[in-house]
Structure 1
Amino acid sequence: MPEPVDAVEMQAALLRLRRTSGLPVVFGGLLSDARHARIAELNGAQTSALRGLVISAGSGLGGKAIALSRPCAVTDYAFSRHISHEYDAAVAAEGLRSVVAVPVVVRRAVRGVLYGALRTPVTLGDRTFDAMVAAARDVEQSLAVRDEVRQLLAAGRAQVTDPDAAPGAWEDVREAHRELRALVPRVVDPALRDELLEVCGRLASAAGPKVPAAREVRLAPRELDVVACVAAGATNAAAAQRLGLRPETVKGYLRSAMRKLGAHTRLEAVVAARRAGLLP
Structure 2
Amino acid sequence: MSRHLRPSDRDALQAELRTLKAATPFPVLFGGTVEHGNLTLSGFVGTRSTILRNLVIDVRCGVGGRAMAEQRPIGVQGYANSLSITHEYDHQVGAEGIETLLAVPVVVRGRTRGALYGGLRVNQPLSDRLTDVVVERAHELAREIDIRDEVDRRLAMFAASGRVQAPIARDDRKMDAIIESYLALRSIADRIEDTDLEAEVMAVEGTLRRILPTDRRTSSVTLSKREIEVLEYASLGCRNAEIAARLSLSVDTVKTYMRNLMGKLDVATRQEAVVEARRHGLLG
Q: TM-score, normalised by structure 2?
A: 0.69
The one-letter amino acid paired with 2:127 is G
Given that 1:72 and 1:102 are in contact with CA atoms closer than 8 Å, whether structure 2 keeps it comes out as: yes
Counterpart pick for 2:8 among 5, 9, 19:
5
1:109-124 equivalences under 5 Å are 109-124=111-126
State the shift of 1:230 in Å: 10
Residue matched to 2:227:
223
In the TM superposition, 1:12-161 aligns within 5 A as: 12-34=15-37, 36-158=38-160
Is the partner of 1:117 in helix, strand or coil?
strand
User: How many residues end up aligned between the 2 structures?
Assistant: 250
How many angstroms does 1:144 deviate by?
1.2
Distance 1:256 1:7, change over 3 A: closer
Answer whether contact 1:229 1:239 (CA < 8 A) is retained.
no
Q: Does the 8 A contact of 2:14 with 2:43 survive in 1?
A: yes
Q: What RMSD in Å do the two structures reach over aligned CA positions?
A: 4.4
Preserved CA contact (<8 Å) 2:262 2:268: no
Assess if the C-alpha contact under 8 Å between 1:240 and 1:250 holds in 2. Answer: no
Give the whole-Å Cα distance in 2 for the aligned partners of 1:124 and 1:116: 10
Q: Is the 8 A contact 1:26 1:115 kept in 2?
A: yes
Given the superposition, is the C-alpha separation of residues 19 and 226 from structure 1 closer, same or farther in structure 2, using an over 3 Å criterion?
closer
1:29, distance to aligned residue in structure 2 (A)? 0.8
Following superposition, the deviation at residue 106 of structure 1 comes to: 0.9
Q: Is the 8 A contact 1:18 1:24 kept in 2?
A: yes
Cα deviation for residue 224 of structure 1 reads: 3.6
| 2:108/2:145 contact within 8 Å kept | yes
**What is the TM-score normalised by the length of structure 1?**
0.70
Q: CA deviation at 1:239?
A: 5.9
Whether the 8 Å contact between 1:98 and 1:119 is mirrored in structure 2 is: yes
Do the aligned residues in 1 keep the contact of 2:102 with 2:118 (CA within 8 Å)?
A: yes
Instruction: State the AA in 2 paired with 1:131.
Output: V
> What amino acid is aligned across from residue 22 of structure 1 in structure 2?
P
1:39 partner amino acid = L
Letter matched to residue 189 of structure 1: I
SS of 1:39 mapped into structure 2: strand
* Deviation (angstroms), 1:150: 2.0
Distance 1:245 1:120, change over 3 A: closer
- SS of equivalent to 1:81: coil
Distance 1:46 1:241, change over 3 A: closer
Mapped to 1, the partners of 2:89 and 2:242 lie a distance apart of 46
Which SS does the other structure have where 1:31 is aligned?
strand
Which is worse superposed, 124-133 or 145-154? 145-154
Cα pair 1:49 1:90 within 8 Å, conserved: yes
Residue 234 of structure 1 corresponds to none
Distance 1:249 1:153 in 2: 21
Q: Distance in 2 between matches of 1:254 and 1:50?
A: 49
Deviation at 1:247, TM superposition (A): 4.8
Distance 1:98-1:246 versus aligned 2 partners, 3 A rule: closer
Q: 2:101 is matched by which residue type in structure 1?
A: V
How far the C-alpha of 1:71 sits from its partner, in A, is 0.8
Aligned partner letter, 2:279: R
Post-superposition offset of 1:186: 11
5+ residue gaps, structure 2, are 190-200
Q: State the shift of 1:19 in Å.
A: 1.1
Note closer, same or farther for the CA distance 1:249–1:16 as it changes in structure 2 (3 Å cut). Answer: closer
